[in-house]
Amino acid sequence: MSRVARNAAAILVALALLVAVGGTAAAQSALAPRVPHRVLVSRPDSLTAISDASARALIDRIDELLFTSIAARQPIVRVYTAETANSTIDIAVAEDTLRAVLSGAAVGGGPLVESSVATTATVTDVSHWLNETAELFAPLLVMVDPAVVQAGSTGAATVREQAIATVDLADRLATPYEATLWMSGLMRTDLGGSEGSASVRLTPIALDLTWFRDRSFGVTVSGWFQRNDDLRFGSADDSQIEPTVTAVLTLVGAGIEYRALGRFGASVGLSLYTGTAWVTNTSDVAIGDWDDSDDFVVYLEPGEEATFRYTTLMFRGGLTWNATDRWALRTRFMLAIHPLMLLGQEDRIPYPSDGGSAFLLYLPVGVMFRF
């Protein structure tokens, strides 16, 4: 396999990893787990109204005993301030009656839940009342969403509310069609050497139209126009001379696309392009390639032109910032390579593969509209 093909294979591995990361990120959108109910349990007062000393001693610890009895049936967390509590259990002695009243999130704004026993009750009676009250309150103190207070804000939002907002945004972004106009970017063609460098070009200009059959996977058709002198389509007989070639590519393509939706989204895809290339040797030396016997074969003399069918396979991965539900800015990384180069069959390409059959394009600017 040639040096260009080995470099291309390494880039394809990187793109595959990008697909895996994108799929993992898309899968990690589950809502946060719920947490135990936070309950404020008050201490009883006015215990002098209870004549039985044993019962009075029991009721003096009734807040701890009631919390423990409920927690044995339903996981709850005891807190000691109203600001941190989801619900409150008020325990009070009044009118010869010991009452426990449940209020807050547990009743959801509905009527208070109350349980009571006479202050003249025996220890056995109070113990039975304790178990009955725990049985009554426990099913109401269900798991709740963890609260998150956003820094710099005066309110609090739950993780579930944030997740709902995220899902709602993804739903709005999941339109069946996307159209993107691409322009400019950095291009590098010397993939097999260490002295190549990226150059900024206004072209290629590309228009992509994608139809998504579901939220994530779609089919893309594209138009591609490129005019620059980065694609050399051959080299000079003298390795010290760098030839100049003007190339114009007009291509159409079709492929597949995967997207991950969100305010900042991602995409990966693959497309096969084919079309016409017009190439002019604008240098003062002939360009060509070497055959198997190391003889230089001229492809274009100085000033000579050639027209041929150009084919390339483009692997891409990119990022998207969705400014609104309809409009977005995009950028991407692309590897374009002739399919025969992936098979180590460069000699079957009907034009010199050096400098023309593989290139990198990254950080182009794209404007996308969803509909």
The string of pLDDT tens digits covering residues 117-158 is 888 888 888 889 999 999 999 999 998 887 655 555 544 455
- What's the pLDDT score for residue 24? 42
Tokens of 252: 């159409």
Distance CA 353, CA 232 (A): 9
* Selected residue with higher pLDDT from 319 and 46: 319
Tokens of 155: 């309110």
Secondary-structure breakdown of the chain: helix, strand, coil percentages, each rounded to the nearest 5? 25, 40, 35
Per-residue pLDDT tens over the stretch 208-264? 999 999 889 999 999 999 998 888 888 887 767 888 889 999 999 999 999 998 899
- What's the pLDDT score for residue 9? 56
DSSP string, 202-261: S--EEEEEEEESSSSEEEEEEEEEEEESS--SSEESSTT----EEEEEEEEEEEEEEEE-
Distance CA 241, CA 236 (A): 6
Distance CA 39, CA 79 (A): 6
Tokens of 339: 């399919």
- What's the pLDDT score for residue 76? 92
- What's the pLDDT score for residue 233? 84
- Tell me the pTM: 0.58
Q: Report which of 272, 259, 275 is spatially closest to residue 318, judged by C-alpha positions.
A: 259
DSSP string, 289-333: EE-TTS-EEEEE-TT-EEEEEEEEEEEEEEEEE-SSSSEEEEEEE
- What's the pLDDT score for residue 20? 46
Provide the percentage of residues in the chain whose pLDDT is more than 90. 42
- What's the pLDDT score for residue 88? 94
- What's the pLDDT score for residue 218? 95
Per-residue pLDDT tens over the stretch 270-294? 999 999 999 999 988 888 888 777 7
Pure H helices in 77-120? none
Taking 60 as the threshold, does the pLDDT of residue 15 lie above it? Answer: no
DSSP character at residue 144:
B
